[in-house]
């Protein structure tokens, strides 16, 4: 009988040892699986943030390097008077005490305008990683969007050696819009007004405070259009409220 009890005790001891080994193995496996996750959750994650160059409008009159850079960028597009500065999509803009990245402005333009802005800003089939350029006009008191557009268009044609008449945007004697007027109406869809102090898209140019609102020109989008226009055929330009085209006679 003692031998039988001893055998039973040995079996129990073996079972206990096996259970202990299995439990230890499971514990090690669980620790291996959960350890890194717990460490990542409790530890701080450091994401490197790339600093952006800041184009400071406030320094434009005194900073020689900024003046040279601005003139170089303007010369590429042939706009000397109609925009104040040209900012790239990987840069930030500072006006007064407010600094905002161009990417933030573009994101808010897309959110505000939906599929329309997708066609205006992204509709050139450009690679996503391409750096884009945006003309910035700082709104002054008593400005209106039509005159801002006309000034931009006149600047463009001056660079082409074509002088626009002061009334080129006015309707004809029958009240029909001129070709230039139709271009201006279409161009209203290619720009946005941004309130840099409140960091939001503005609806119009009313209630202007000093250094508060800017007109943002998508240079690639606008010049993709203007470079296809023959000034001699502007009288054949048609605009239906959405699309601009030249009627073939």
Separation between Cα atoms, residue 4 and residue 10, nearest integer Å: 10
- List, for residues 130-153, the tens digit of each pLDDT value: 788 999 999 988 888 888 888 998
Considering the domain architecture, whether residues 8 and 62 belong to the same structural domain is answered as: no
Say whether both 19 and 58 belong to one domain.
no
Rounded Cα gap, residues 93 and 87, in angstroms: 7
Same domain, 19 and 139: no
Same domain, 18 and 71: no
Q: Are residues 149 and 221 in the same domain?
A: yes
The dihedrals phi and psi of 63, each to the nearest 5 degrees, come to: -85, 105
Residues 19 and 99 grouped into a single domain: no
Same domain, 74 and 183: yes
Q: Report how many domains make up the chain.
A: 2
* Residue 154 and residue 119 in one domain: yes
Q: Last residue of a domain, which of 9, 28, 46? A: 46
Alpha-carbon distances, residue 37 vs 32, 40, 121, 143, 233 (angstroms): 9, 5, 41, 58, 67
Give the pLDDT of residue 171: 75
Task: Give the whole-angstrom CA distance, residue 216 versus residue 87.
Answer: 10
Encode pLDDT of 40-93 as tens digits.
444 444 444 457 899 999 999 999 999 999 999 999 988 989 999 999 999 999
pTM flag (> 0.85): no
Tell me the residue range of the domain where 151 lies.
54-246
Confidence band, pLDDT 50/70/90 cuts, at residue 38: very low
CB atoms within 10 A of CB 246: 15
Residues 23 and 61 in one domain: no
pLDDT for the residue numbered 117: 40
Find, among 183, 154, 188, 159, the residue nearest to 76 by Cα. 159
Q: Is there a single domain that holds both residue 146 and residue 106? A: yes
Residues 63 and 33 in one domain: no
| Cα distance between residue 216 and residue 167, in whole Å | 25
Q: What angle do CA 111, 193, 137 make, to 5 degrees?
A: 135
Nearest to 221 by CA among 134, 148, 136, 155: 134
Do 72 and 34 form a contact (C-beta atoms < 8 A)? no
Same domain flag for 147 and 63: yes
191-199 average pLDDT score:
89
Q: What percent of the chain has pLDDT over 70?
A: 61
What's the average model confidence in pLDDT over 86-109? 93
Quickly count: other Cβ atoms within 10 Å of residue 206's Cβ: 8
């Amino acid at each position: 009988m003692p031998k039988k009890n001893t055998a039973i005790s040995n079996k129990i001891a073996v079972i206990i040892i096996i259970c202990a080994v299995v439990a230890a193995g499971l514990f090690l496996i669980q620790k291996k699986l959960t350890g890194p996750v717990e460490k990542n959750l409790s530890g701080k994650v450091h994401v490197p943030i790339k600093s952006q160059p800041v184009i400071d409008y406030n320094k434009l009159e005194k900073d020689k390097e900024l003046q040279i850079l601005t003139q170089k960028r303007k010369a590429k597009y042939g706009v000397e008077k109609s925009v104040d500065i040209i900012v790239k999509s990987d840069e930030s803009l500072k006006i007064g005490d407010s600094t905002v990245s161009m990417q933030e402005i573009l994101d808010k333009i897309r959110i505000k305008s939906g599929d329309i802005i997708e066609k205006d800003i992204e509709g050139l089939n450009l690679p996503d990683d391409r750096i884009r350029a945006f003309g910035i006009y700082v709104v002054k008191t008593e400005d209106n969007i039509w005159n801002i557009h006309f000034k931009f268009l006149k600047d463009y044609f001056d660079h082409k050696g074509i002088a626009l008449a002061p009334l080129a945007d006015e309707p004809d004697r029958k009240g029909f819009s001129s070709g230039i007027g139709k271009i201006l109406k279409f161009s209203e869809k290619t720009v946005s007004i941004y309130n840099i102090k409140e960091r939001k898209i503005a609806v119009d140019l009313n209630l202007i405070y000093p250094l508060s609102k800017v007109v943002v020109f998508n240079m690639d989008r606008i010049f993709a259009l203007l470079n296809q226009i023959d000034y001699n055929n502007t009288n054949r330009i048609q605009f239906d409220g959405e699309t601009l085209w030249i009627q073939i006679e």
